[in-house]
């Protein structure tokens, strides 16, 4: 796993200053154990990398899974997507649908040879195209939107270390700051939560406004980081249509990791 010291201190100049006293403690995680608990969130699933690890992903079309770019580093290194599988609405070994990956792509400005810095977090967006669509009646994809300027509350649905058998939902967490295309929030996320959708409930149905990318754990305050997602998704979709940098496509050259980079293809949630 990657480690990053003093993450918050390194980026305090880019993020808005946190309040002197944290907002009221956010609601705790709720495990989506029963089928009725999962209703409406079937499109969130676990993205498995064979036996090497997992991340969280979410459908934005019937055959496109949105996740963090750093979750795809192992397949970029291998040059293929064999063994990459999406299990929508997974709970206790059962999924509403399971599909293998056909192709994958990282945002063109994400650099897998660099440690997580402000630029990489801003571009930490990846897409996985499935080998067959999942019907919207089974798992309805979510729209991607911009977080309204005055909105201070979001929610998150994720897997994580110690809770990887079923999704957990945190109905309310606080937006701590936003600046330069980055968001900070106090959602309770950890290893395996990378790529988890951060939702805004301003519309009739919740919409994705960010992804869990990195964060700090330790002490009493939890801080997670993600990108303002709307423009990033439009950019990576354009790259996918253009056919550039597609993992699994004939002619793709495997990426070599830089010095000090992890070889683990699973979840990459950062902590100090």
Tell me the per-residue pLDDT of 212-221, one tens digit each, with 9 for 90 and over: 998 876 556 6
Residue, of 102 and 252, whose pLDDT is higher: 102
3-state secondary structure the chain: CCCCCCHHHHHCCCCCCCCCCCCCCCCCCEECCCHHHHCCCCCEEEEEECCCCEEEEEEEECCEEEECHHHHHHHHHHCCCCCEEEEECCECCECCEEEEEEEEEECCCCCCCCCCCHHHHHCCCEEEEECCCCCCCCCCCCCECCCCCCCCEEEEEECCCCCCCECEEEEEEEEEEEECCEEEECCCCCCCCCCCEEEECCCCCCEEEEECCEEECCCCCCEEEEECHHHHHHHHHHHHHHCCCEECCCCCCCCCCCCCCCCCCCCCCCCC
Residues of the chain with CATH 2.40.10.10: 7-34+142-230, 40-141+231-247
Mean pLDDT of 31-54: 94
- This prediction's pTM: 0.88
pLDDT at 9: 43
CATH 2.40.10.10 fits 40-141+231-247, yes or no: yes
Which class does domain 7-34+142-230 fall in? Answer: mainly beta
| Average pLDDT of the chain to the nearest whole number | 86
Over residues 58-100, the pLDDT tens digits come to 999 999 999 999 999 999 999 999 999 999 999 999 999 999 9
* Confidence band, pLDDT 50/70/90 cuts, at residue 28: confident
pLDDT at 220: 63
- Does residue 269 carry a pLDDT above 80? no
Is residue 52's pLDDT more than 70? yes
Q: Which of the four pLDDT bands, split at 50, 70 and 90, describes residue 19?
A: very low
Predicted confidence at residue 219, as pLDDT, reads 55
pLDDT over 90 at 23, yes or no: no
């Amino acid at each position: 796993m990657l480690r990053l010291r003093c993450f918050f201190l390194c980026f305090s100049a880019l993020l808005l200053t946190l309040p002197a006293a944290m907002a009221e403690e956010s609601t705790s995680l709720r495990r989506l154990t029963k089928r009725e608990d999962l209703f409406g969130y079937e499109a969130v699933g676990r993205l498995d990398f064979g036996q090497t690890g997992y991340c969280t992903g979410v459908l934005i079309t019937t055959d496109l899974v949105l996740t963090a770019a750093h979750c795809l580093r192992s397949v970029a290194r291998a040059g293929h997507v064999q063994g990459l599988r999406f299990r929508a609405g997974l709970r206790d070994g059962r999924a509403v649908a399971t599909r293998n990956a056909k192709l994958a792509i990282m945002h063109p400005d994400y650099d897998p040879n660099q440690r997580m810095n402000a630029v990489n977090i801003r571009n930490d967006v990846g897409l996985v195209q499935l080998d067959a669509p999942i019907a919207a009646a089974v798992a309805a994809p979510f729209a991607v939107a911009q977080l309204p300027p005055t909105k201070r509350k979001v929610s998150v649905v994720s897997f994580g270390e110690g809770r990887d058998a079923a999704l957990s939902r945190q109905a309310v967490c606080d937006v701590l700051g936003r600046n330069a295309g980055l968001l900070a929030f106090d959602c309770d996320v950890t290893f395996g939560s990378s790529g988890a959708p951060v939702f805004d409930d301003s519309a009739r149905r919740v919409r994705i406004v960010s992804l869990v990318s990195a964060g700090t754990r330790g002490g009493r305050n939890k801080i997670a980081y993600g990108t303002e997602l709307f423009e990033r998704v439009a950019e990576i979709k354009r790259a996918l249509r253009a056919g550039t940098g597609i993992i699994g496509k004939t002619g793709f050259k495997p990426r070599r990791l830089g010095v000090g980079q992890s070889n683990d293809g699973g979840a990459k949630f950062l902590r100090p």
